[in-house]
Structure 1
Amino acid sequence: MSERSLTYDRRVTPAPRLSADDRRAQIVEAVTPAVLEHGAAITTRQLAEAAGVAEGTLFKAFGDKESLLLALAQHHLTVGGLAGEREGAAAAPELDTLEEVVTWTARVLVDRMRFVFRLVMALGPIGQRAAHEAHDDFEASKHRLAERFEPFRDELRVSPVVAAELVRTLAWAAASGWGDAQPASSVDDIIQVLLHGIAATDAATRAAASAPRTATPASALETQKA
């Protein structure tokens, strides 16, 4: 066969067709930046331009704009996404110590939750509806996070599930900033608290040495460990 024939054959070989679900996911990913910019007021024309398709293609894939925006929110509010796996899976380093796990997980989660917070705020009632529907996924994400802490169980003062819940709670607080224009805490602050607590080491040592040894109730965290 001639070189010209080979070139022709390569040119006419059709590309694999995307499944309907893959096509919908591709559109959702493509329009997400535009939705974050314009919110629920975005027009179908703007959505089509962002996706690089005709408006009719959007209607065929999703039915209407609200269905597309709801599908977008549901796509991002999944177990893997809420556990920070979507952003972190490809770039995850070898995590050999508890400190590395806490540091990497906290940074990934804060970035992820900032995105989720922006998305829900941008979509208004649609985002709130998707967040409410994702309650079970949000709960499951805690247990996915706990798996990262399981190899270091003996180094923890709490169970892996409690550790995961604390990391997730503080990450959400840092991501939302409690609505403050200039939040007081940073990601580094959260990492330090998770690893070392809020008391300075010397102060904590002195307090432990002077504390009475009788009639001291176990803390909730110590009870978890027991």
Structure 2
Amino acid sequence: MTPRMSSDQRREQILDAVLDVALERGLAVTSKELAAAAGVAEGTLYKAFGDKESLLRALVAREGRREDAAGQWIRAGGAEGTSLEELAAGIAELAILQYRQQFRMLQMLGSLMQQPSHEDIAEFDRMLEPWIDALDAHRDRLGIATARAAAMLRMLVIAACHDGGWGIPMTPAEIVHVFLHGVASRAHAPAAPAVAA
């Protein structure tokens, strides 16, 4: 006999199941559509969340707290032995997927989002810690402190993955190129100033 799910487990299962339809339909999604996506009766949704808006708010809150995918990859050893280029590409690829989904959530369900708390902002900063640690192995190739390099890499990813009109969609390879080399080609870069002896 399969053990019975706790109410928290049931809520998580429902949230997992309704994510795609909520991102596709936004606030126009109906309770019936959510129930169908979750494979449950509408009454089960109401029992678990109270109403459609509460379910969607719970979904938005959960997705906003989702662990950083690039950090997970780094902590799992995926970045060990990688070159700086491979590390930056791995981070960019995983972060793009995650931030694109978060931008989609903002676009479709943004009115349900809460103002970030001090704890939310602190957690956003903490998510960079694995990036900083991994980049630190390559600090001799970085022209700035690793914490600043990690923050700049994340800002490149965020700006590059938003396809809603105010970003410039970029591939991970393009992000890596800009992160490591800037936008000027070496042929057109000004000569380094002479250093007085």
TM-score (norm 1): 0.74
Give 1:47's match in structure 2, choosing from 34, 44, 47. Answer: 34
The answer on 1:33 being equivalent to 2:16 is no
Assess, with a 3 A threshold, how the Cα gap between structure 1 residues 103 and 162 changes in structure 2: closer, same or farther.
same
Q: CA deviation at 1:106?
A: 0.8
Assess, with a 3 A threshold, how the Cα gap between structure 1 residues 79 and 136 changes in structure 2: closer, same or farther.
farther
Structure 2: gaps of 5 or more residues:
none
Q: Is the 8 A contact 2:71 2:127 kept in 1?
A: no
Q: Is the 8 A contact 1:35 1:42 kept in 2?
A: yes
1:122-151 deviations in Å (ceiling 9; x for gaps): 003113x2x634433322222343233233
Q: CA deviation at 1:212?
A: 4.3
Assess, with a 3 A threshold, how the Cα gap between structure 1 residues 184 and 74 changes in structure 2: closer, same or farther.
closer
Any residues of structure 2 matched to 1:153-192 within 5 Å, and which? Answer: 153-177=139-163, 179=165, 183=168, 185-192=170-177
TM-score (norm 2): 0.84
Q: CA deviation at 1:91?
A: 10
Larger Rg: 1
Assess, with a 3 A threshold, how the Cα gap between structure 1 residues 177 and 212 changes in structure 2: closer, same or farther.
farther
Opposite residue 99 of structure 1, the aligned amino acid is E
Q: Which moved more, 1:87-96 or 1:58-67?
A: 87-96
Q: Is the 8 A contact 2:71 2:128 kept in 1?
A: no
1:180-208 deviations in Å (ceiling 9; x for gaps): 59x4744322210112222222444x511
1: distance between equivalents of 2:134 and 2:156? 17
Show the counterpart of 1:132: 116
Q: Is the 8 A contact 2:21 2:34 kept in 1?
A: yes
Which structure has greater helix proportion? 1
Q: Is the 8 A contact 1:73 1:119 kept in 2?
A: yes
Any residues of structure 2 matched to 1:1-226 within 5 Å, and which? Answer: 14-78=1-65, 80-81=67-68, 84-85=70-71, 92=78, 94-127=80-113, 129=114, 132-133=116-117, 134-177=120-163, 179=165, 183=168, 185-204=170-189, 207-208=191-192, 211-213=193-195
Opposite residue 27 of structure 1, the aligned amino acid is I
2: distance between equivalents of 1:89 and 1:48? 36
Show the counterpart of 1:224: none
The alignment covers a number of residue pairs equal to 194
Structure 1: gaps of 5 or more residues:
1-13, 215-226
1: distance between equivalents of 2:24 and 2:135? 36
